[in-house]
Structure 1
Amino acid sequence: MDFERAKAYLLSKPQTELDFPFGEGVYVFKVKGKMFATLSVGKMGKEAETKPASELPSWWMNLKCDPDEAAILRDIFPSVIPGYHMNKSLWNTVILDGSIPQGEIERMIDNSFLLVVAKMTKKDQQFIGVQI
């Protein structure tokens, strides 16, 4: 999954808004003001300024996750690591390097979205149109 597909899928979730509270390079996806995903270029540092686009780091996506499932996903996929700049037990970083099937990434996005919505009031859940 590339950046454009990830962004489109994240924005397809009901009532999702795009925000940039951490600066223009970090896409933050929220539902009813609650973050469920971020999307940004992975660690790059100053050397990235001189590299061609083909050598730049992959896009990294932070997704909320059940702690037990988070650990399992890290064991299965080398491109799933503890959440970068996030609570490492509740968030995973998925490196979009093409090694994880698109369907699996979509499942992880769906789970992140549902975990955030599940913490909302029944009224907000109904507004979003999600049955938990």
Structure 2
Amino acid sequence: MGDKIFAAVCCDETGVPYCITLKLEPNEGAFLREQYNDIYPGHYMNKIHWNSINPDGEVPDDLLKDLLDKSYGLVLAGFSKKKQAEILAE
């Protein structure tokens, strides 16, 4: 997706993921952090727009998949219409 990321996976020294960081609308991110202990301000990222999730925690897989889609959409929307069309055609 060009030079922008929509998800970052942090792994421990053995390669096991310990957090997935995703971009979310600030209000949604704040709401989810109140609902789930395993969602917290973005690890190494802007704490307003980015949220980290413990992949082995209490966050349901369906919600995590939905948040991945939302993060992708938010980052994609930051590109020009021309670049969006190029990315979606890949």
Could you tell me the TM-score, scaled by structure 2's length?
Answer: 0.87
More relative contact order, 1 or 2 (CA 8 Å, 6+ apart): 2
Deviations 1:84-117 (A, max 9, x none): 1110000000011241111100010001100000
Aligned pair count reads: 88
The answer as to whether partners of 2:24 and 2:71 remain within 8 angstroms in 1 is: yes
**Consecutive unaligned residues in structure 2, runs of 5 or more:** none
Which structure has the larger Rg? 1
Tell me the equivalent position of 2:51: 92
* Residue pairs, 1:1-132, within 5 angstroms: 31-41=1-11, 59-129=18-88
Tell me the equivalent position of 1:12: none
The answer as to whether partners of 2:38 and 2:57 remain within 8 angstroms in 1 is: no
The 10-residue stretch of structure 1 (82-91 or 120-129) with the greater mean CA deviation from structure 2: 120-129
State the alpha-carbon separation in 1 of the partners of residues 41 and 9 from structure 2. Answer: 15
Q: What amino acid is the match of 1:36?
A: F
Q: What SS does the aligned partner of 2:58 have?
A: coil
Q: Tell me how far 1:58 sits from its aligned partner.
A: 5.6
Q: What amino acid is the match of 1:74?
A: R
Tell me the equivalent position of 1:5: none
